[in-house]
Amino acid sequence: MRVGITGHRGLSADVERDVRALLEQAVRTYDPADLTAVSCIADGPDTWLAEAVLAHGGRLEVVVPAAEYRQGLPGWHHATYDRLKRQATDVHETGLTASDSAAHMAGSEVLVGVVDELLAVWDRKPARGHGGTADVVAYAERTGIPVRVLWPEGATR
């Protein structure tokens, strides 16, 4: 089972705690011997799922939306990004250079194209910019990939 992730970044500490718990619950529903997370490993839900799957005994594949993607992530996240990328069994690249919204959407399309299910840490509101969580969910639904929304009751961004 290959499970992808999309989700909101910059969540409060309380929402992060609740989202991590939801991701842990979701991961426990899969057989670790047959589980691969597919993630762009940005800070937030992308990383939390990757770490949960690896801790559960599953594997990780990484999607790199653009050559400059890592530089666009917060500096404090670079060491985690590098560690997770080293642990990946496969790395998928879009071939794009600039880390912009078009590249992020292209990366999400690659991710959706290789998974059996998409987990979405999503408040069910429209995307704040092209390539946001709502856009990735809509793309997955259009292409027939099942989406499981994980969002804590009463949480806000």
Reported as a single tens digit per residue, the pLDDT across 40-78 is 999 999 999 999 999 999 999 999 999 999 999 999 999
| Number of compact structural domains in the chain | 1
88 belongs to a structural domain: yes
Torsion of CA 30, 33, 38, 43, to 10 degrees: 80
- Residue 128, pLDDT score: 84
Range(s) of the domain holding residue 129: 2-149
Strands (E) located in the chain: 2-7, 36-39, 59-64, 90-93, 117-121, 147-149
156 belongs to a structural domain: no
157 belongs to a structural domain: no
132 belongs to a structural domain: yes
155 belongs to a structural domain: no
* Percent of the chain as helix, strand, coil, to the nearest 5: 45, 20, 35
What CATH number corresponds to the domain at position 17? 3.40.50.450
- Per-residue model confidence as pLDDT tens digits over 2-37: 999 999 999 999 999 999 999 999 999 999 999 999
pTM of structure: 0.96
154 belongs to a structural domain: no
Q: Which of 51, 70, 68 lies closest to 59 in space, CA to CA?
A: 51
- Residue 130, pLDDT score: 86
79 belongs to a structural domain: yes
| Dihedral sign for Cα atoms in the order 143, 144, 146, 147 | positive
133 belongs to a structural domain: yes
| Dihedral sign for Cα atoms in the order 40, 23, 77, 139 | positive
Residue 134: pLDDT band with limits 50, 70, 90: very high
